[in-house]
Structure 1
Amino acid sequence: MDRKVVLVTGAGRGIGSVIALEMAKEGYNVVLNYCHSEDGANQLCKQLTALGTQPMTYQCDISNENDVKNMVDAVVKKYGHIDVLVNNAAVSIDSLFRDKTVDDFKKTLDVNVVGTFLVSKYVGEIMYDNHYGKIINLSSTNGINTYYPMCVDYDVSKAGIISLTHNLAVQFAPYVNVNAVAPGFIATESEVKDMDEEFIRQEEEKIMVGRAGTELDVAHLVKFLASDNARFINNQVIKIDGGIYGDC
């Protein structure tokens, strides 16, 4: 059986790893891109193999154009096609605006915006030529509304991903669906490890459904957008935040 192929960037941990696992459960062959999380990617690769799929791992700095070109070439050489791209990889360097350095700002934009652009460019061209593809970009509600004083570089980058999503949807029409997912407060291990319980409680009180989101919540939305049931959904930014009091 010629399985569909999904490339997930930043798949070695967090939301990316859960998305990769859920896509494998749907029968996809998953390409696990990572930059630093080699152990996590290799461990996940074993899990996906046990599901009967044929995953591959690929270390790549997505802000480096040659790295991206080589990765995409390797994926096409192995599978012959790429059907779905999930641009999940991101960094955030938390510091107050007055303490933010130009290097910090550039690094965040290089990975989050330039990286998303580069992978979308090289994968999207293949999808366009094949007359089929889905690109799903991970933005954030931080890219829509600024919530925290520590995240100016991250917020700007996630707003940039929203703009990039709209541009890609136009460039790759009519063959490739391009959408963005904008998670709100998601209780990933990396998110909550440095937060005190009172802060988490205050954040959850803002959410209409009464709890923080989970990685699986995000993965289920991505999985739907990747499916042919979402063929008429295009050029959209879909918030997944449980509903926020005050946004009504």
Structure 2
Amino acid sequence: MSIILNESAQKKSDTSSLVGKVAIITGGSRGIGSTIAKEMAKRGAEVVVNYNSSKEAADEVIYEIEEFGGTAISIQADVSNYEESLSLVEKTQEYFGKVDILINNAGITRDRTFRKLSEKEWTEVIDVNLNSIYHTTSAAINLMIEQEYGRIINISSIIGQAGGFGQTNYSASKAGMIGFTKSLALETARNGVTVNAVCPGYVATEMVQQIPEKAKEKIISKIPMQRLGTTSEIADAVLFLLNNSYITGQCININGGAYM
């Protein structure tokens, strides 16, 4: 029995090129998000750097992208808010004419043991980390289905897989992202839209650097590779997923062996 591939599947993809693609990166002004934004722009993507309050940091990312000849704009939106998320996608479509890629990266922590965790600390984390991906994705998904192309990548976490002491809120939000990813992937697989998650371990970002030194040393001692990850290593996985049309509903673990 012979299998005939469609024309798009027969073409050899250029893994170095995202020319002509329009991408939104939520929480793109710093850390993992800013590195993803810059690496995508280097490969030709037209990038929207979303930020909530750090305009100066977002402008710095835009400046760096423009310095190497890339195209990027920044758009302020609190993605925990449904209306602002809709506006983020609408403004992107108005400016660039379409939306091809959505990187749901925005996230916060409010670490506290569960017995001391307030309702506010629970809700803030769920709203920013989990509800936001409903907000942004619901705004973009029909555009992607209509054009029969889309890439959605949700930045989850090792904590959503293995748990973390004092992080029931964060762990629940990141585990929810994985379930969201798998279910939406099933629904959109026939429409040219892939939905995947990247699950970083401990990465050298501002969030991790705020951990007390002794606690950080303890964390590193439990990582088989004996070091923190880099934002570039996370961006590499995102780029890999963007350039593969036959991977969907998957979680790519990048954690130095800390969770297998």
TM-score bracket, shorter-length normalisation? over 0.9
Q: 2:183 aligns to what?
A: 167
Letter paired with 1:156: A
Amino acid at match of 2:37: A
Q: Could you tell me which amino acid in structure 2 is paired with residue 49 of structure 1?
A: E
3-state SS of the aligned residue for 1:104?
A: helix
Q: Does 1:71 align with 2:85?
A: no
Aligned to 2:249: 235
Report the counterpart of residue 7 of structure 2 in structure 1.
Answer: none
Verify: 1:108 aligned to 2:125, yes or no.
Answer: yes
Q: Deviations over 1:176-219 (max 9, x none)?
A: 000000111112133123321x3323222222222111111111
Query: Does the CA contact (< 8 Å) of 2:220 and 2:226 recur in 1?
Result: yes
Q: Aligned in 2, Cα 1:194/1:208: closer, same or farther, shift over 3 Å?
A: closer
Q: Does 1:226 align with 2:257?
A: no
Once residues 74 and 58 of structure 1 are traced to their aligned partners in structure 2, the CA distance between those partners, rounded to angstroms, is: 8
Q: Deviations over 1:36-61 (max 9, x none)?
A: 11110011111111222221110001
Q: Secondary structure at the match of 1:89?
A: coil
Deviation at 1:2, TM superposition (A): 6.5
- How high is the TM-score relative to the length of structure 1? 0.93
Q: Distance in 1 between matches of 2:179 and 2:208?
A: 25
Letter in structure 1 aligned against 2:200: P
Between the two proteins, the alignment pairs up a number of residues equal to 242
Cross-structure match for 1:55 = 72
Aligned to 2:36: 19
1:151 equivalent in alignment to 2:167? yes
Question: Could you tell me which amino acid in structure 1 is paired with residue 156 of structure 2?
Answer: S
Aligned equivalent of 2:113: 96
Query: Is 2:178–2:197's contact at 8 Å kept on the other side of the alignment?
Result: yes
SS at match of 2:162: coil
TM-score when scaled to structure 2? 0.89
Q: Give the Å deviation of 1:173.
A: 2.0
Counterpart amino acid of 1:221? A
Q: 1:231 and 1:210 mapped to 2: Cα distance?
A: 34
Mapping 1:191-230, distance limit 5 Å: 191-196=208-213, 198-227=214-243, 230=244
Give, in whole Å, the separation in 1 of the partners of 2:209 and 2:69. 33
CA distance in 2, matches of 1:163, 1:189: 27
1:121 Cα deviation after fit: 1.2
Once the two structures are overlaid, the 10-residue window that deviates more, 49-58 or 39-48, is: 49-58
After TM superposition, list the pairs within 5 Å mapping 1:31-46 onto structure 2. 31-46=48-63
Task: State the Cα RMSD in Å.
Answer: 1.5
- Residues 2 and 188 (structure 1), Cα distance of their counterparts in 2 relative to 1, 3 Å cut: closer
1:129 aligns with 2:146: yes
Structure 2: gaps of 5 or more residues = 1-17
Change (3 A) 1:24 1:183: same
Distance in 1 between residues matched to 2:68 and 2:254, nearest whole Å: 28
* Match of residue 3 from structure 2: none
Question: Hey, what's the Cα distance between the residues in 2 that align with 1:102 and 1:189?
Answer: 25
Identity percentage over the alignment? Answer: 35
